[in-house]
Chains A and B, each alone.
Chain A
């Protein structure tokens, strides 16, 4: 019998965390911004069909960075959790807080018990009747959960993007302003091509994925479901709009 090498729990967790961080850092960033019209979710994503942003429930949306298959399975699990809960209790009993804590538990369980941790970072956003009542939760690969105010930036260049967003963010932003701010943040790369453009360059509408949670979806569109995915022409129009 060969003896197994002893690895201290501290070292084991540290190695896992480093592994997950590396995986996430390779990906492109996602920005979630709470503003006056609701919550805007903006991702740099050239694929028109493999989404990083998704609808979970009436007022709740999901955004993720990292490995597609891993966050997609988490998104589907979230939709199932929300639909079962809404069906067995009532639609208003589905909250971002409940969903985020389920995500935190599953991410935590995978981080400690499975062969390899999930290389993902998630945001769960719930739009409220006023900007103060919006909920933004950030979840990391180890199951930590943070309640954020205003905006969340995740992914590879999170710190740099975050600095740009923090500078320009105001609660009075409209959707157009929030989406423009987010794309400005996403293009603020060290990439010289992006730097050349004025205010950090611009992303073409095809390279970004944008979805919003409308604060007033019941009155403006007659739908309880606040989530709306914007198509390329909507995005172009928003980006071209004046402040």
Chain B
């Protein structure tokens, strides 16, 4: 009898916010919703999509950047959307795919990490965080199969090992560690090409910011779903760096200067493609 009580207590003890929701409030989860199969087959849903995210390692940490455009079919749904978020003090998260679900998943992931920290009194390891995110993406698989996929990119500083690390995912929640740089989203092929030429090991932080903005510029040049720097509206990519001191958002003024230099250099060259 006593053993069953002990087992019950142990079984109910969870530091995971998602598990708690699954048990007590499944209606609050972004996924776990049965969708009528026929509806999906009839017309593909027209919902905003978020596109290109780039991430790279640099000397002392990792960097992640995202453009500001969301598209719905051939229409620009938003010019202000943010696709890179701090997950906790030592990690950031970028999202590509169905914007609505991705933003909800991000919110859930942020609460998940904070919840663990408060219950356990310590931070989750970076591998632990990466695995939790993988499990959440896997939870979204039924929706992904119906066209509402979310593909994240995750970067953080491993405080135990003292290095910045970078993780990519597929829609089944598969987790892959990337060594140098990685991109996701519809403009990713173009950004990746740029990164291959611009990135080198042990970049300084300021150089890494410039490389990220330039690779997003190249993605925006060729992919209609990716927005470039917008000097008219004063809109610049969202860029975060994560190092030993934690995650830091690069201020707008710095990004304006970086984007300005890139636009200037490209105008001076007057090249077509």
Contacts and interface: CB of A to CB of B under 8 A. Distances in A.
A86 B111 contact: yes
B11 interface: no
A89 to B, nearest CB: 11
Given A80-B20, A87-B107, A54 B118 contact: yes
A206 interface: no
A96 B128 CA distance: 31
B80 interface: no
A187 B25 CA distance: 46
Contacts of A83: 17, 111, 114-115, 118
A79 B28 CA distance: 17
Max chain A C-beta neighbours (<10 A), residue from B20, B25, B118, B121: B118
B20 A84 contact: yes
Interface residues of A, number: 14
A79 B121 contact: no
23 contacts: A49-B121, A54-B121, A55-B118, A56-B118, A76-B119, A79-B115, A79-B119, A80-B17, A80-B20, A83-B17, A83-B111, A83-B114, A83-B115, A83-B118, A84-B20, A84-B25, A86-B111, A87-B17, A87-B21, A87-B28, A87-B108, A88-B25, A225-B114
B118 A84 contact: no
Interface in A63-110: 76, 79-80, 83-84, 86-88
A87 B118 contact: no
A56 B17 CA distance: 14
Looking at chain A's contact residues, is the secondary structure mostly helix, strand, loop, or mixed? helix
Given A76-B119, A79-B119, A80-B17, 10 more contacts: A54-B118, A80-B20, A83-B111, A83-B114, A83-B118, A84-B28, A86-B111, A87-B21, A88-B28, A225-B114
Contacts, number: 33
Contacts of B121: 49, 51, 54
Contacts of A51: 121
Nearest to A88: B28
Nearest to B110: A87
Contacts of B17: 80, 83, 87
Contacts of B25: 84, 88
Interface residues of B, number: 14
Interface string B1-32: 00000000000000001001100110010000
A126 B67 CA distance: 38
Contacts of A54: 118, 121
A43 B119 CA distance: 19
A117 to B, nearest CB: 19
Contacts of A76: 119
A29 B86 CA distance: 38
B13 to A, nearest CB: 8
Contacts of A79: 115, 118-119
List the 4 closest pairs (A to B, CB-CB), nearest first.
A79-B118, A87-B111, A83-B115, A88-B28
A232 B6 CA distance: 35
A79 B119 CA distance: 7
A61 to B, nearest CB: 11
A83 B20 CA distance: 10
B32 to A, nearest CB: 15
A83 B118 CA distance: 10
B114 to A, nearest CB: 7
A140 B13 CA distance: 25
Contacts of B115: 79-80, 83
Interface in A15-72: 49, 51, 54-56
A125 to B, nearest CB: 15
Contacts of A55: 118
B119 A84 contact: no
A83 B17 CA distance: 8
A56 B115 CA distance: 9
